[in-house]
Structure 1
Amino acid sequence: MKFPSLIRTSKFSQFHYEPRYYDPIKEEIEGKLKAARANKDTENPSTQYASSISAAFRKRERKSSQASVVQMLIAAAMLVTFVGWVFYGNDVFYIYLLLSPLYFYFRLKGRNKSKN
């Protein structure tokens, strides 16, 4: 038996979760059917696919060439550091410490120009 009260207590909140079934194969089939219905009006859809594939390869080549240049620069910097360390000792690392603020200054300066 519950006594009447002026103070109301909060009821417990319950989490209600209703699981849904996900079928990736069915979703892929539906997506392909929608794309086929949308491309039904075009006469030659294979040219569209060919152009997108060639564009993807061009983009991939550009990224890989940029990565190879960066890798070569890193390898050259490591080689120069090692050779400098062999000939001049730890003074090479002090030169890097002196040049690093200059590098960060120009890097931040370039970012500020691109934002404006």
Structure 2
Amino acid sequence: MKFPSLIRTSKFSQFHYEPRYYDPIKEEIEGKLKAARANQNNPSDTPSYTSSISAAFRKRERKSNQASVVQMLIAAAMLLTFVGWVFYGNQVFYVYLLLSPLYFYFRLKGRNKSRD
């Protein structure tokens, strides 16, 4: 038995998920069929097609490799800072104060080159 209340609770909603998958063989067949159809309409052109999905996977892999390198550099900097703090104390943080102008200089220098 339900008691009457002033607060309305929401109904349960269903979650519908349709998985996507990548089939390289099917994509290659579709690309060749598309090139053959284009070749029938225009026989002088050479058949050329690109695999957009596989190119996207390669691009994502390249980005993930770059991100992992950056993460490793950040982790190494944090570890070196901690070890330096244990052995030398707060003097390690003065190194960051000395190196920060160099960082900003090279960062702004890179932006100015891209604008030229």
Query: Aligning the two structures, in what range does the TM-score lie when normalised by the shorter sequence?
Result: 0.5 to 0.7
2:71 pairs with 1:71: yes
Q: What is the Cα-based RMSD across aligned positions, in Å?
A: 2.2
Inter-CA distance 64–43: structure 2 relative to 1 (3 Å threshold): closer
CA distance in 2, matches of 1:43, 1:104: 51
Q: Which has the higher contact order (CA 8 A, sep 6+)?
A: 2
Partner of 2:33: 44
Partner of 1:58: 58
Partner of 1:93: 93
Q: Which letter maps to 2:33?
A: N
Q: Structure 1: which 5+ residue stretches go unaligned?
A: 1-41
CA distance in 2, matches of 1:43, 1:76: 48
Report how many residues are paired.
Answer: 74
Q: CA deviation at 1:78?
A: 0.3
CA distance in 2, matches of 1:43, 1:82: 57
Taking only the aligned residue pairs, the percentage that are identical comes to 81
Q: Which letter maps to 1:45?
A: K
CA distance in 2, matches of 1:71, 1:111: 23
Q: Which letter maps to 1:86?
A: V
Give the structure-1-normalised TM-score: 0.58
Q: Which letter maps to 1:67?
A: A
Runs of 4+ off more than 3 Å? 45-48
Map Cα deviations across residues 53-104 of structure 1 (whole Å, 9 max, x no partner). 1101101101100100000000000011001101110001011011101110
Task: Determine which structure has more spread, i.e. the larger CA radius of gyration.
Answer: 1
Q: CA deviation at 1:43?
A: 6.7
Give the structure-2-normalised TM-score: 0.58
